[in-house]
Amino acid sequence: MDFHNAYEWGYLFSSPWEEIVRGMGSRASEMSLTQEVRGRDILWLSGTQARVKFCFVPDPSDIEAIRLVFNDEENASLPACFIIVTQPDPSDERGDVVFDIFRMSPESYLWHFNRVFTPPIRGD
């Protein structure tokens, strides 16, 4: 993923929840999928069949939120389930707000899929 795409996703994920839902819905429509929102999860469906799920975890230190993701058996059984975690990482100079994206599947419950971010804040 190039920086432009990483910044685009970073901006979206750092937006207020309503904007995330709207932006993700637009992307689902581009793929001829419909969107369903369940709490902090977004599902993309083909008809009534869930095809992709996005689980948003805004605080990686919230162990209960992490447990909810891993205790939900649906997440590993879907064709694709992505966990988007707001990740404080001052060592990553590529961006200001950092999001780690993990993919969950029956083969791996914690595959580090990608990292996106907002552009770095430049101090003068």
Residue 102 inside a domain? The answer is yes
List the domain range (segments joined by +) for residue 50. Answer: 3-117
Residue 48 inside a domain? The answer is yes
Q: What whole-number distance in Å separates Cα of residue 23 and Cα of residue 30?
A: 11
Give the total number of structural domains in the chain: 1
Residue 55 pLDDT > 90? yes
Residue 123 inside a domain? The answer is no
- pTM of the predicted structure, to 2 decimals: 0.89
Neighbours of 2 (CB within 10 A): 7
Residue 87 inside a domain? The answer is yes
Q: Which two tokens stand for residue 102?
A: 């993990």
Contact 85, 98 (CB under 8 A): no
Residue 25 inside a domain? The answer is yes
pLDDT of the residue at 92? 76
Residue 70 inside a domain? The answer is yes
CA distances from 113 to 17, 85, 108 (A): 22, 12, 11
Task: Work out the average pLDDT over 18-24.
Answer: 98
Task: Work out the average pLDDT over 73-86.
Answer: 92
CA distances from 23 to 1, 89, 117 (A): 19, 25, 16
pLDDT of the residue at 46? 97
pLDDT band at 123 (very low <50, low <70, confident <90, very high): low
pLDDT band at 40 (very low <50, low <70, confident <90, very high): very high
Average per-residue pLDDT for the chain: 90
Read off φ and ψ for residue 111, nearest 5 degrees: -90, 120
Residue 67 inside a domain? The answer is yes
Residue 42 inside a domain? The answer is yes
Residue 124 pLDDT > 50? no
